[in-house]
Amino acid sequence: MLLYAFCGDAVMIVEEQVELSKVFMAHRSQLRWAALKILGNSERAEDVVQDAYLKVSEAAAVFHVKQPVAYLFQMVRNLAIDHHRRISFELNLFEGEDNGLHVPSHIGMPEATVISREHLKLVAKAISELPERTRRAFELHRLEGQTHRAIAAELAISTSLVNILIHEAIDHCRAALQST
Amino acid sequence: MFRVSLKLWKIDEFEDSSGEHQGETVANSEDQDSDQVWHTAVEWVIREHASLDPTEREELIGWLNMNPAHRNAYDEASRLWLLTGLVPPFEPPAED
């Protein structure tokens, strides 16, 4: 059963994207502020907001996003956290190798990962196929950023089971991409 | 340092391959290894998302530098992580 409202029809896609652009423009400075709070650097915050816009536009071509404002903020936060982590991590990774003289040029840039609509569809479908509890645990973790402990309390299960469910969700998504 | 780790990896494989059905054993142990590497990579991505302290970060960097397969699995897990983050929250279909 396909539970997501995939927009098969081109008119719908355009409407979704136009709607999202409007929401984006209307909230641009707040979105940048949200990213800035996490990154502490206005140039990077701007990059992340731009990157979020591109990625969310792709997502809007695939999904019907019911609450675009909340969704945009969630994406900016998620991407800013991922970005922040990646910068500090990659600087660490290359530190000491060449005294930092040959730090790869992509560092500090938003991830160059190209979001494929096909992959987005496959991953959404895979998530919709998960058993209810697994999907819920995964969403609380991935989208709402809740800790294992908080998820365990909400679903009345152990933290180790929370971790197992998150792994199962990711493994299922991976299998969905590999099957193509 | 990188070469040494790679060498150790090969020795592990070699030792695993002792047995009557050599080819089969090697294939199975490679499957198990790659499953284990994938599981560890996902675990790191999950832990990273929750935040790592400096010691854990060093541990992750050590793990990534140990074997190119670790880095590949980690990159794949990170990409998947990004994709899943773009999927809007599930909403049950409206009942007609």
Residue B87 near chain A (CB below 8 Å): yes
The predicted complex's ipTM stands at 0.72
Mutate to test the interface with B, among A142, A144, A149, A161 (most CBs of B within 10 A): A142
Which residues in chain B have their CB less than 8 angstroms from residue A4's CB?
90
**Residues of A whose CB is below 8 A from B46:** 141, 163, 166-167
Helix or strand (DSSP H, E) at A36: helix A10-39
Determine, for residues A82 and B43 on separate chains, whether the beta-carbon distance falls below 8 Å.
Answer: no
For residue B82, which residues of chain A lie inside 8 Å, CB to CB? 82, 111, 113, 115
Residue that wins the pLDDT comparison between A78 and A173 = A173
Residues B1-16: tens digit of each pLDDT: 333 333 333 333 333 3
Question: What's the average model confidence in pLDDT over B33-46?
Answer: 92
Q: Name the nearest CA neighbour of A21 among A83, A78, A69.
A: A69
What does the block give as tokens for B49?
A: 């998302």
In the block, tokens 């609380």 appear at A140
pLDDT of the residue at B5: 37
pLDDT digits (tens, 9 = 90+) for A72-125: 888 888 888 878 877 766 666 655 454 444 444 444 444 545 678 889 999 999
| Rounded Cα distance, A123 and A59, in Å | 12
Pick the closest to residue A112 from A90, A97, A145 (CA basis): A90
Structure tokens at A60: 């809007």
What is each CA distance from A113 to A20, A110, A127, A155, in whole angstroms? 21, 9, 21, 33
Name which of A113, A166, A167 is nearest B82 (Cβ-Cβ). A113
Sign of CA dihedral B44, B30, A172, A53: positive
Cα dist. A101→A98, B27, B78 in Å?
6, 41, 26
Give residue-wise pLDDT tens across range B63-90.
Answer: 999 999 999 999 899 889 888 988 888 7
* Contact A165/B at CB under 8 A: no
A86 three-state secondary structure? helix
> Residue A162's pLDDT is what?
97
Say what the pLDDT of residue A145 is: 82
Q: Which tens digit of pLDDT belongs to each residue from A26-64? A: 999 999 999 999 888 899 999 999 888 888 888 888 888
User: Using CA of residue A38, residue A107, residue B67, residue A119, what is the dihedral sign?
Assistant: positive
Q: Side chain identity at B23, as an amino acid letter?
A: G
